[in-house]
């Protein structure tokens, strides 16, 4: 671990932190990292990533904070914080949608049958979920979603289109938001479903981001879902979604800190041809120093989130503050990296001359998406302004 990341950990958690590091040394193979970095398989849902997640499942870490009755270990939020930070720093697959969002929502709102059918498989790393919310005309304004779920006997029939549904091509199930009442006000006609990703009538088309990550357009052409896969009550989906969105906003910060460490390391190296290291340039030093201060700020904000969660609160504006600051900080780090490296900084990972194997260039290219996915920066600012500062809408 680098000096920037060596975050303070309470004595009773240090053994767990060491256990996670030990696990990563043993199981995070080059294949798992390469698969994740390729962007083709989402958050580790390729062959190697799935094996890695099953190993985590064997230790109970996919249900780390879940109660024992659902196959969890009942550990604290700080355990989860440490697990997420260590995994992100090592570029390992994160816990994913099933353990972080679907599992906790099922525990709150799912039927006994759903809990029996899905929770053990999620905790063992055998069942993976994709998120099916966004549509071409419903992103920031998610309540406008139109994909129709029509009742037909003991089934619902799904018809419509989703966009930017990452991982649907490799997941087992989709956690899907659909419209079950077209007459009700928009927030009151939405339901949540668990849809088999291999259902007849479901087809997936890839879209690639500037950072080479795959996401998808997904078509639902009369896809049939059994009624037992409806979450809770029909038309209450918006309320369940609100819980799910709050659960999604647990962002580890060590990935961007690792990028900053890499850039600082690079700046300290002798330059090809015998030039003095970049760090000796006062402007470079000043820029890096500013980013180090911001890294400490982002770390503090994430500690506050973890502390609030540990108190049993659901962070709301705090989650928006972290999302906004972290994702914009990531862009500043990526930009600083390629600019400090000069023209070489623009070389892609495929070039033998790319500094740091092109990692910072790729990070820079991928970083604009981070301020869009999971709720855009503008929307986070709106939340902070209206809910946090109580400014008028």
Ligand X SMILES: Cc1cc2nc3c(=O)[nH]c(=O)nc-3n(C[C@H](O)[C@H](O)[C@H](O)COP(=O)(O)OP(=O)(O)OC[C@H]3O[C@@H](n4cnc5c(N)ncnc54)[C@H](O)[C@@H]3O)c2cc1C
Q: Which residue ranges make up the site for ligand X (CB under 6 A)?
A: 131-134, 139-140, 164-166, 209, 213, 215, 369, 372-376, 378-379, 382
> Cβ of residue 373: shortest distance to ligand X, in angstroms?
4
> Nearest distance from residue 132's CB to ligand X, in Å?
6
What is the rounded distance in angstroms from the CA atom of residue 255 to the CA atom of residue 59? 24
Least spacing, CB of residue 40 vs ligand X, in Å: 13
How many of the other CB atoms lie within 10 Å of CB of 246? Answer: 16
Tokens (6 digits) for 41 = 């398989």
Residue number, 96 or 345, with CB nearest to ligand X:
96
Residue facing ligand X at closest CB distance: 139
82, 184, 332, 376, 388 from 176: Cα distances, Å: 30, 19, 34, 20, 29
Beta carbon nearer to ligand X, 17 or 166: 166
CB of 32 to ligand X, least distance (A): 21
Secondary structure class of 376 (helix, strand, coil): coil
Answer yes or no: 248 catalytic.
yes
Q: Which residue, 158 or 291, is less far from ligand X as judged by CB?
A: 158
Q: How far is the CB of 291 from ligand X (least distance, A)?
A: 24
The kind and range of the H/E element at 320 are helix 317-340
CB closer to ligand X out of 139 and 252: 139
Cβ within 8 Å of residue 280, ≥6 positions away: none
DSSP assigned state of 276: P
> Torsion over CA of 64, 70, 71 and 74, rounded to 10 degrees?
40
Closer residue to ligand X, CB minimum distance, 39 or 120: 39
Hey, what's the torsion of the CAs at 261, 264, 269, 273, to 10 degrees? 130
Judge whether 235 and 184 are in contact, CB under 8 Å.
Answer: yes
Q: How far is CA 177 from CA 97, 199, 298, in A?
A: 14, 16, 32
In this structure, what token pair is assigned to residue 21? 């590091």
The active-site residue, picked from 248, 261, 328, 390, is 248
Where do we find the tokens 């993976």? Answer: 128
Catalytic residue annotation = 248
């Amino acid at each position: 671990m680098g000096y920037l990341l060596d975050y303070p950990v309470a004595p009773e958690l240090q053994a767990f932190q060491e256990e996670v590091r030990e696990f990563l040394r043993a199981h995070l193979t080059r294949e798992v990292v390469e698969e994740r970095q390729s962007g083709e398989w989402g958050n580790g849902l390729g062959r190697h990533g799935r094996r890695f997640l099953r190993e985590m499942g064997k230790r109970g870490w996919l249900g780390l904070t879940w109660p024992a009755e659902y196959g969890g270990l009942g550990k604290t939020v700080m355990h989860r914080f440490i697990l997420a930070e260590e995994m992100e720093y090592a570029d390992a697959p994160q816990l994913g949608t099933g353990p972080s969002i679907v599992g906790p929502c099922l525990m709150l709102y799912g039927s006994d049958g759903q809990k029996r059918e899905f929770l053990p498989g999620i905790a063992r790393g055998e069942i993976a979920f994709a998120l099916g919310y966004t549509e071409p005309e419903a992103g920031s304004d998610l309540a406008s979603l139109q994909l129709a779920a029509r009742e037909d006997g003991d089934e619902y029939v799904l018809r419509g289109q989703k966009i930017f549904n990452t991982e649907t091509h490799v997941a087992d199930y989709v956690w899907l938001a659909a419209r079950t009442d077209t007459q009700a006000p928009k927030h009151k006609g939405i339901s949540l479903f668990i849809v088999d990703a291999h259902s007849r009538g479901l087809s997936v088309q890839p879209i690639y981001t500037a950072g080479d990550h795959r996401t998808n357009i997904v078509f639902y052409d009369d896809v049939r879902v059994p009624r037992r896969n409806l979450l809770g009550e029909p038309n209450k989906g918006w309320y369940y979604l609100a819980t799910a969105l709050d659960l999604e906003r647990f962002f580890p910060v060590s990935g961007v800190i690792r990028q900053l460490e890499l850039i600082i390391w690079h700046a300290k190296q002798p330059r090809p041809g015998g030039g003095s290291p970049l760090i000796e340039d006062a402007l470079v030093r000043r820029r890096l120093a500013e980013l180090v201060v911001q890294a400490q700020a982002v770390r503090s904000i994430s500690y506050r989130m973890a502390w609030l969660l540990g108190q049993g609160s659901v962070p709301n504006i705090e989650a928006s503050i972290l999302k906004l600051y972290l994702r914009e900080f990531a862009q500043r780090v990526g930009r600083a990296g390629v600019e400090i490296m000069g023209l070489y900084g623009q070389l892609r990972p495929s070039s033998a001359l790319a500094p740091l194997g092109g990692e910072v260039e790729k990070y820079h290219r991928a970083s604009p998406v981070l301020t869009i996915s999971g709720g855009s920066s503008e929307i986070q600012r709106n939340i902070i302004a209206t809910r946090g500062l109580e400014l008028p809408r």
